[in-house]
Structure 1
Amino acid sequence: MTSTNTLESSANKLHDAVRWTRAQWLLLMVVCTVLALDGLDVSMVGVALPSIGQELGLGTDSLQWIVSAYVLGYGSLLLLGGRLADLLGRRRIFLIALSVFAAASLVGGVVDDPTILIATRFIKGLAAAFTAPTGFSIITTNFAEGRERNKALSIFTTFGASGFSLGLVIGGLMTSLSWRWTFLVSVPIAVAVVLLGLRYIPRDKPTAENSGHDIWGAVTLALGMLGLVYTLVSAPEKGWGSVATIAGFAVSAAVLAAFAVIENKVKHPLIRFGILREGWVAKANLSAIGLFGSYLSFQFIVTLFLQSVLGWSPLGMALALLPAGLIVATSAPFADRLIEKFGATTLILTGLVSLGLGYVLFLRVGTTPNYVLDILPSIILLGIGFALAFPSINVQATAGIRDSEQGLAAGLIQTSTQVGAALVLAVTTAIVSGHGHTAAPASAAAMLEQYRPGLILSAAVAIAALLVAASPGRRRRDATEQVAA
């Protein structure tokens, strides 16, 4: 009888373990809302670019900085953000970074100086470099490993995709009032989440065991990434062959080389480079660069094309692109089932084929397109491609990696997406603006021809990523890695 009761008690505890408490749900909603806010902010600002350029007198090369400044801040400190959260406390870092995000949004919504506006975007990118990995680690440390954590992470990623999708429509609505509202609308949401976070995010203690280790590694990594991304996004304006650009690459390379030397000598390195030879880490990161680089560049060009060339309203442009976002958002909850059934590699290849085809089809678009026949097929293909490839690349990047380095692998893949986006967008802008020449073409047809090389580049980058993903990989070792394959 006692044995039976014990078994029943154990079963009840196991059953209860997968039922979240109200506090857990509220904790998850706080963290997920911040990720959605990041996606919302990026897509809203993208919709508002033509209006910002018109009011502040900015050309294509300057507008790039509205996007790239965020990437600069995010990509340069992402690997460091999660590490500092472990050392200083996740709750503290998360709430401070979110407060900074809110303040930068407020300033960006009221200033008229383009330099200050771009600076607020950089600061918001820095804030996101701390909230994104910290939010991820808050989930992994407050939800039990297994089905409970997998469910939480699935909801987490769905919120990110949904935020980006909703941002297109909300951005269109806000821009119809004023582009400034695309900045200001984030402020009350962020403030409310900070207040909720103070109550529902559990207090945690800084990790003392790793404090003091690899300080110089952290410093050189941050400085090297900052220099590299800055050089990439400023190259279109200064010229790819200019002394400033060449010097920027040289200095960044030297600092990152110093980082590599440090990592090979310290006892507890920030990054163990051997991880690139494990699993499908290297291939997944290269695929991520192609996926995000091509997609962000395409959206940048199409946003300008539909509004500046075709004269569409911000809301009309947002609704035109919305189907892609809806496909990504609605498919996110089922991504894990598709990966388990077909394998990550198959879905990555299928997604990149769909993405490349969507870019190629869009090259047919002229100055008087029919939306249903000429534009919508590309938008649907891009949505399908991104929905299949994005979660699969993340799974492939972390499959077969030991638990102690899962955070490192996740940080690497996120950094690759941002640096890849900065690189391809910088090259795209250089092509479109003619290395800083932004004089307005005389006709819509001439403007379309100015944008077309950028569209071709997006297609070429996606095809290159497809070739990388299709290249032979190493032999599969276990069940986890077979899912990634």
Structure 2
Amino acid sequence: MSTTKSPPTAAHEAPRLAGRSKVVLAVLLIAQFMLAVDFSILNVALPAIGDDLGFSLADLQWVATAFALCAAGFTLFFGRIGDLIGRKRIFLGSLALLGAASLAGGLAPGPEVLIVARVAQGLATAAATPAGLALLTTSFPEGPLRQKALGLNGALMSAGFTAGAVLGGVLTDLLSWRWAFLVNVPVAVAVLLVAPAVIAESRPAARPTVDLPGALSVTLGLLGVVYGLTRAGEHGWAEPLALTGLLAGAVLLVVFYLVERRAAQPLVPVRVLRKPTVAWGNVLGLLAFVTETSLVYLLTLYMQKTLGFPALAAGLAFGVLGAGTVTGGVLAPKAIARTSTTAVLVGGGLLQAVFTAVLIFLGDTPASMGLLLPATFLGGVGNMLVIVGFMVTVTTGLPDHEQGLATGLASMSQQVGITMGTPIMSAIATAAAGGMAGGMAGGMAGGMAGRAASAGAILHGVTTAVTVNAVLVLLGVLLAAVFLRRGRAYA
């Protein structure tokens, strides 16, 4: 069986969702949208949080870092645990934890409580994201219905990232940064009231043992990599703790692979990792999230530091990108049905690459928004075609009892890609700008540091990083064309 080519009749089918299926889909999509919003909603609110709770400038980054470490580091572990003890149980428990953590964060009297709440939110996200995706894939049969569900999921997830940035600014300006936490509570409660009655549990007939050495090595390895990336984004790639984290993480991930080769009941069977659809599909997903999320950072830097836009105006400009991703999510399942997943991965990647490369020609006047807005819309369409193609690729051809593993790997690629994109592109932009005034290093958590750098230097740094970004997208196109072409998709 091949996942890169749809069934011959797929192009002629008009898949429709039954009444109960619509409710299941709506519940899962609302939850995934909330998780995406939660990832980005605090970025704009960080300065207000620091002023109100007395965070030092050095410690403020931990509001974002504590979340990112847990969200990326524990995703694969919780994804597999959902396969073993039941995805519905994990999904509902993690949403309850997210609601409680959001309430605690919104009411936090000081930095310590807020950081604990962010850790809990990260753990909840690490558990809910793969469990929700696994429930989505197992609720709809392989083929057009699943492709449609994954397309809508991808569209709303990407729209959630954009909405989070905008909503964070609006809530902070009009009410208080605390509402960036509290807004999650009623949504989580509503999902918890409806989900138990409409979502069916899925668990194995016989419960296998948990691969503790594998779980420990992969979790610590991912924590090391994510910590190293966030330290590098704040302090530069030569910083000792950043290098230590990256090196330790890489070593532990190698240990994890060796453990899995010998484990009787591995956390991640090596035969699954060797499937081209799983291996190369996740590489493409990683590149998709690295490029698009870091592009948002670069364009935020450009609009605020070169064009002089306020934060809220810059955030609102990304509504166009959000519209593009929603459009791509709607178009993706139709395109897959008419062609193949590989064709969508290649075509979407080319579309994203072309309209990312167009941004090289941005200037230093507001007139450049006439170029930026349509380019981000069309680039967003292409990026979402790739993301949906990636999700279809990595979840097709695996039995239901391994869907938590598949979605755990996919969620891990997503979270690590989101985390690593900004420090990589920030470092490139810093080097190109000549490191003026300490450079522009510092991811979304640390804010824009290069205040003394000239608008021209920042523009040069941004366009250089945009060039590298486009090259990475083209690399994904090449990998898809070579390793996922029909006949080589399965091993």
Alignment partner of 1:396 out of 380, 393, 398: 393
Cα distance in 2 between the residues matched to 1:456 and 1:115: 39
Q: 1:310 to 1:67 in 2, by over 3 A?
A: farther
1:137 aligned onto 2:147: no
Task: Specify which of 180, 183, 192 is matched with residue 194 of structure 1.
Answer: 192
> Is residue 312 from structure 1 mapped to residue 309 from structure 2 by the alignment?
yes
Report what 1:230 is aligned to: 227
Distance 1:426 1:331, change over 3 A: closer
CA 1:192/1:308 → structure 2, altered by over 3 Å: closer, same or farther? farther
Counterpart check, 1:26 vs 2:23? yes
Residue by residue over 1:367-413, the C-alpha shift from the partner in whole angstroms, topping out at 9 and shown as x without a partner, is 43225424213322322221322212223334555665454333323
Contact 2:130 2:408 in 1 (8 A): yes
Alignment of 1:108-257 (within 5 A): 108-111=105-108, 117=114, 120-143=117-140, 149-177=146-174, 178-202=176-200, 204=201, 207=204, 209-257=206-254
Contact 1:50 1:308 in 2 (8 A): no
1:459 to 453, 467, 475: 467
1:76 and 1:222 in contact (8 A); partners too = yes
Are 2:388 and 1:380 aligned?
no
Deviations 1:401-433 (A, max 9, x none): 566545433332332222123222223344546
Instruction: Please state how far the C-alpha of 1:339 moved relative to its aligned partner.
Output: 1.9
Q: Following the alignment from structure 1 to structure 2, what is the Cα–Cα distance between the partners of residues 304 and 58? A: 24
In structure 2, list runs of 5 or more residues that go unmatched. 1-14, 431-437
The aligned amino acid for 1:269 is P
- Please give the alpha-carbon distance, in whole angstroms, between the structure 2 residues aligned to 1:428 and 1:161: 20
CA distance in 2, matches of 1:101, 1:81: 15
**Pair 34,372 (structure 1): closer, same or farther in 2 beyond 3 Å:** same
Does the C-alpha gap of structure 1 residues 462 and 411 become closer, same or farther in structure 2, counting only changes over 3 Å?
farther
Which residue of structure 2 lines up, in the alignment, with residue 470 of structure 1? 478
Structure showing greater radius of gyration is 1
Alignment-derived partner of residue 10 in structure 1:
none
Alpha-carbon distance between aligned partners in 2 of 1:294 and 1:65, rounded to the nearest angstrom: 24
CA offset digits 1:161-211 (Å, max 9, x no partner): 443454454344323314433222222211222222344444x47546233
| Structure 1 unaligned spans of 5+ | 1-16
How far residue 150 of structure 1 moved from its aligned partner, in angstroms, is 5.0
Give yes or no for contact 2:357–2:467 (8 Å, CA) kept in 1. Answer: yes
Structure 1 residues 337 and 271, CA gap change in structure 2 (3 angstroms): same
Q: Cα 1:347–1:60, aligned 2, differ >3 Å: closer, same or farther?
A: farther
Shift of 1:292: 1.0
* Paired position in structure 2 for 1:9: none
Cα shift at 1:338: 0.7
The root-mean-square deviation of aligned C-alpha atoms, in Å, is 3.6
- Report the AA paired with residue 477 of structure 1: G
* 1:298-345 CA-partner distances (Å, limit 9, x unpaired): 212333443465443444323311111112213323311212323333
What is the CA–CA distance in structure 2 between the aligned matches of 1:303 and 1:62, rounded to whole Å?
A: 23
Which residue of 324, 328, 335 maps to 2:325?
Answer: 328
More helix by share: 1
Partner of 1:267, secondary structure, is: coil
Residues 125, 138 of structure 1: CA spacing in aligned structure 2 closer, same or farther, 3 A cutoff? same
- CA distance in 2: counterparts of 1:84 and 1:195, whole angstroms: 24
Alignment counterpart, residue 350 of structure 1, candidates 344, 347, 350: 347
Distance 1:60 1:447 in 2: 24
Matches within 5 A, 1:271-282: 271-282=268-279
Q: Is 315-324 or 246-255 further displaced after alignment?
A: 246-255
287-296 or 193-202: bigger deviation? 193-202
- Determine what percentage of the aligned residue pairs are the same residue: 34
Alignment pair present for 1:292 and 2:289: yes
1:6 is matched with which residue?
none
AA of the residue aligned to 1:457: A
Could you say what secondary structure the match of 2:276 adopts? coil
| Mapped contact 2:284–2:390 kept (Cα < 8 A) | yes
Query: Distance between the aligned counterparts of 1:261 and 1:304, measured in 2?
Result: 42
CA spacing shift, 1:96–1:317, aligned 2, 3 Å? same
Letter in 2 for 1:188: P
Counterpart CA distance in 1 for 2:474 and 2:284 is 7
Question: 1:441 pairs with 447, 451, 458, which one?
Answer: 451
Give the Cα–Cα distance (whole angstroms) in 2 for the partners of residues 338 and 205 of structure 1.
Answer: 30
Q: Structure 1 residues 53, 298: closer, same or farther in 2, change over 3 A?
A: farther
Q: TM-score, normalised by structure 2?
A: 0.80
Structure 2 CA distance, aligned partners of 1:242 and 1:200?
50
User: How many Å apart are 1:475 and its aligned residue?
Assistant: 5.9
Q: What corresponds to 2:411 in structure 1?
A: 414
Q: Given the two structures, how large is their TM-score scaled by the length of structure 1?
A: 0.81
Could you say what secondary structure the match of 2:486 adopts?
A: coil
Distance in 1 separating the partners of 2:412 and 2:92: 22
Contact persistence 2:88–2:202 (CA under 8 A): no
Partner Cα separation in structure 2 for residue 411 and residue 451 of structure 1:
38
The answer for the alignment partner of 1:268 in structure 2 is: 265
Which shifted more, 161-170 or 76-85?
161-170
